[in-house]
Amino acid sequence: MSKVYLAGRLDTGEGRIEDFANELEARNHEVIEKWFLEGRLPKPYLSNVESSSPASERMIKAASESDIFILFPTDDILGAAIEFGAALGSVATNPDKIIAVVNAFQVRQSLFYAYPAVIAVSGLEEIRKLEWY
């Protein structure tokens, strides 16, 4: 069973992250830190550090400790881009880690989508064809 962390927009255009998480769990993967099931954190984040600080710690830890990290990017993701960086950084200690970017070709691309550990795919159907799925 793989530990999977999902980052990005709640609505991926191909469905909701929650639905994809349920699909993964039905296939015996463990989806960790289900931030998408929690209510929205109060903004501005720096004025609400009592909630934003522990949430950010949990998310970075999950992105780092996951076996599989899946990013659903949009042109304006900030938090998920930070989680993506944490996942990339963890490859040094987990060289078998899988990092996938879904719909990578349809959004503003990051240089790091070309990082050797990253699999850029056009949609969830490509994820479903991967060996680990």
Q: What is the pLDDT of residues 5-61, one digit of tens each?
A: 999 987 777 889 999 999 999 999 999 999 999 989 999 999 999 999 999 999 999
In a domain, residue 64? The reply is yes
Model confidence, pTM? 0.95
Residue 88 counted as domain residue:
yes
State how far the Cα of 130 lies from the Cα of 127, in Å rounded to an integer: 5
Distance CA 101, CA 72 (A): 6
Q: What is the CATH number of the domain that holds 83?
A: 3.40.50
- How many domains does the chain fold into? 1
Q: What is the pLDDT of residue 48?
A: 98
Which residues constitute the domain of residue 76? 3-128
Backbone φ/ψ region at 76: left (φ over 0), alpha (ψ -120 to 50), beta = alpha
pLDDT of residue 9: 85
Which pLDDT belongs to residue 30?
Answer: 98
Q: Given this model, what pLDDT does residue 76 score?
A: 87
Q: Express each pLDDT in 80-119 by its tens digit.
A: 999 999 999 999 999 999 999 999 998 999 999 999 999 9
Residue 112 · residue 88 · CB < 8 Å:
yes
